[in-house]
Structure 1
Amino acid sequence: MPALGASLATSGAVGVASDLAKAPSGRVRMLPVHTDLAGLFPWGGLRRGSTVSVHGSTSLLLALLAEATAGDSWAAVVGMPDLGVLAAAELGVAVDRLALVRHPGADLPAVVAALLDGMDLVVTPRARLGDAQARRLSARARHRGAVLLTVGSWPGADLELRCASYRWDGIEQGAGYLAGREVTVTARGRGAAARPVRTTLRLPAPGGGIAPALPALRPRPATDPVGVA
């Protein structure tokens, strides 16, 4: 997993990461996502040139990188020094195709812009960017055919993903280890994504990765003899 410095990203030395050459005109326009996430996208995956904002879950953000990096795509994360690389690997991210710029400093907009020229996916938080800077970065992603994934609200995002309804598994009667988490993800955006869609997932699932939500358990009838001496 390479760690890029701001000087590299702003030097113009970043090439198209997936093939280290100029992207051909026939380059695939869609980057894959996990099967259980595909229904959240009207295009069935991450459309090149789009901006997707993620609210409420770093795990969901990392899960969006997994299928693409498992293929021949590269991703970069800028300005998130506390990102857990082990957690990324457990969610299926190919960390040897993940570049980190943990501390871009005041150069954050320039670093993100440079990486959009060369990476397939670029992740950045919104907190330190003004509206005008955010819109310019979305325009650059659209022009370069990269996917811009953002943490928090983003002006003009093509799609917003929101995580809610957390339920942890693994703790029984106050004891045990956290084994997995069930979340509800809602997607809504512009154009084909204007109609909201929702899915419930295990993220992370026991053992890592993503899995469908467990079916709801029916309460046991009071007359059920199971467990009665």
Structure 2
Amino acid sequence: MVAVPSRLEPDASGPRPVLEVVADLRARVDRLQGRSTPEPLPVHPGLAGLLEPRAGGTYTVASAGLALLMLAGPSAGGAWCGIVGAPELGVEAAIELGVDPARTVVVPDPGPRWLEVTAALVDVLSLVVVRPPEQVGPGQAQRVAARLRSRGSVLVPWGAWPGADAHLSVSEPRWAGVGRGHGHLRSRQVKVAVERGRAPARTRTLWWPAADLSVRPVGPGEDRADRRPPDVLAQDEAPVTDAAWGA
């Protein structure tokens, strides 16, 4: 991943504020990727048909796993993406979901000017995940929204954000693989909900992860619990934990 140093970066002339580093990075990305008329962003197969992020939109998520899932679709499709203020997001889990580390800009600790850093990245990247360290006011959110619309980018706050277009959450986790006091946790089903204003939430049940560690919708005829008996698990199957996926 393209890491932007936390807070300050020293060089021959002294420390450089993170905003200057971001500005240099923006120029580099602009040279590599022109910003023409924005096209609809691709989504991860687990969200296809459930959510279609529009250019200029803001979509809040309730967990690290959902933040990575939102990042994975555009990144796997070749878009440049960014992560601001969320060092908890696991690189390994991101790559397994399809995130391209070579096109992902990470600012783990942007400092008190985190909102300016986020706005600067929004100007050049297709999608930016941000974990706000403090409450965001309506005026601040409106200014960022104006930049999103003008640049055709998408913002994914991990947490509350005024005026967001939709909110994604995960509930009802059910693990499969343990029975009669033994076995490995090896697959899980969860319900993903997308809420828009006062409209009824749209939901989908996903394998997250499936036995092969993929994230995908539960198909027709698939049981809530894995059909394979837990006492016939292969000895080399490693357990999977919630912490590994952060959903």
Pair in the same fold by TM > 0.5: yes
Q: How does 1:54-203 map to 2 (within 5 A)?
A: 54-55=61-62, 57-131=63-137, 132-190=139-197, 194-203=199-208
Task: Name stretches of at least 5 consecutive residues in structure 1 with no aligned partner.
Answer: 218-229
CA separation of 1:15/1:208 partners in 2, compared to 1, >3 Å: closer, same or farther?
farther
Q: Which residue of 1 aligns with 2:223?
A: 215
Alpha-carbon distance, 1:91 to partner:
1.6
> CA contact under 8 A between 2:136 and 2:161: conserved in structure 1?
no
Alpha-carbon distance, 1:170 to partner:
2.6
Q: Which residue of 2 aligns with 1:221?
A: none
CA separation of 1:74/1:208 partners in 2, compared to 1, >3 Å: closer, same or farther?
farther
1:53-73 residue CA offsets vs partner (Å, 9 max, x unmatched): 111x32222112222111220
> CA contact under 8 A between 1:201 and 1:212: conserved in structure 2?
yes
> CA contact under 8 A between 1:18 and 1:72: conserved in structure 2?
no
1:20-79 residue CA offsets vs partner (Å, 9 max, x unmatched): 354223x31x101123312222xxx22111000111x32222112222111220110000
Alpha-carbon distance, 1:89 to partner:
1.0
SS of aligned partner of 1:46 = coil
Identity %: 38
Measure, in 1, the Cα distance between the counterparts of 2:30 and 2:70.
17
Equivalent residue letter for 1:64: M
Equivalent residue letter for 2:55: R
CA separation of 1:215/1:4 partners in 2, compared to 1, >3 Å: closer, same or farther?
same
Task: Name stretches of at least 5 consecutive residues in structure 2 with no aligned partner.
Answer: 6-17, 226-247
Measure, in 2, the Cα distance between the counterparts of 1:155 and 1:145.
19
User: Could you tell me which of 193, 205, 211 is aligned with 1:206?
Assistant: 211
Alpha-carbon distance, 1:116 to partner:
0.2
User: Could you tell me which of 21, 36, 50 is aligned with 1:24?
Assistant: 36
> TM-score, structure 2 length as denominator?
0.76
> CA contact under 8 A between 2:66 and 2:169: conserved in structure 1?
no
Q: Which residue of 1 aligns with 2:48?
A: 38
> CA contact under 8 A between 1:59 and 1:91: conserved in structure 2?
no
Aligned length: 210
> TM-score, structure 1 length as denominator?
0.81
1:11 correspondence with 2:23:
yes
Measure, in 2, the Cα distance between the counterparts of 1:63 and 1:3.
20
